[in-house]
Amino acid sequence: MNIVLSEEEMRYISLLEMVSGVKARDCILSEGENRLVFLVQKELVGLCVGKNGCHVKKLKKMLGKEVEVVGYSEDPEEFLRLLFAPAQIGSLVFAEEDGKKVAVLEVRQQDKGLAIGKGGARIKRAKRLAQRNCGIHNIIIK
């Protein structure tokens, strides 16, 4: 799946690579939250974050934004589980709605708030990343 990055997103990815040595696959800016979310190969998340979060802290200080690093997997099911971690996802089913791919997640009752996020921010970010990287157009949490 081809991801079209804006000039600003490319600059952020470049900065992440300079600070951590890890190349990001994708980057999104959540304007309302003043948060940058970087998507890197799942095996490189620890290296990207750095010891005691040193790389994330450095980026946060440089940019004045919250920084989040999320793991990526080619497997859509594993990718969604990584996006919503640490929320526990029970069953995960893919369906089609109006010819578009939809993921239906069953989340433990005590983890629903965590999966949705404050004001729905986390689910919005997850939908955006899933659409850009896996072609999943909607995520439904049950």
Asked whether residue 43 is assigned to any structural domain, the reply reads yes
Asked whether residue 56 is assigned to any structural domain, the reply reads yes
**All residues at 6 or more sequence positions from 30 whose CB lies less than 8 Å from its CB, including other chains:** 36, 37, 121, 124, 125
Asked whether residue 62 is assigned to any structural domain, the reply reads yes
98 and 41, same domain (yes or no): no
Residue 83's domain spans which residues? 76-141
Whole-model pTM above 0.85?
A: yes
63 and 107, same domain (yes or no): no
**pLDDT value, residue 116:** 92
Q: Which residues of 2-33 are buried (b: 16+ CB within 10 A; e: fewer)?
A: eeeeeeebeebbebbeebbebebbbbbebeeb
Asked whether residue 2 is assigned to any structural domain, the reply reads no
If you average pLDDT over residues 113-135, what whole number do you get?
92
137 and 82, same domain (yes or no): yes
Asked whether residue 45 is assigned to any structural domain, the reply reads yes
pLDDT digits (tens, 9 = 90+) for 9-39: 999 999 999 999 999 999 999 877 789 999 9
Q: How many domains does the chain have?
A: 2
83 and 137, same domain (yes or no): yes
11 and 67, same domain (yes or no): yes
CATH code of the domain in which 94 resides: 3.30.300.20
Q: Which of 48, 72, 96 is the last residue of a domain?
A: 72
pLDDT digits (tens, 9 = 90+) for 47-84: 999 999 999 999 999 999 999 999 999 999 999 999 99
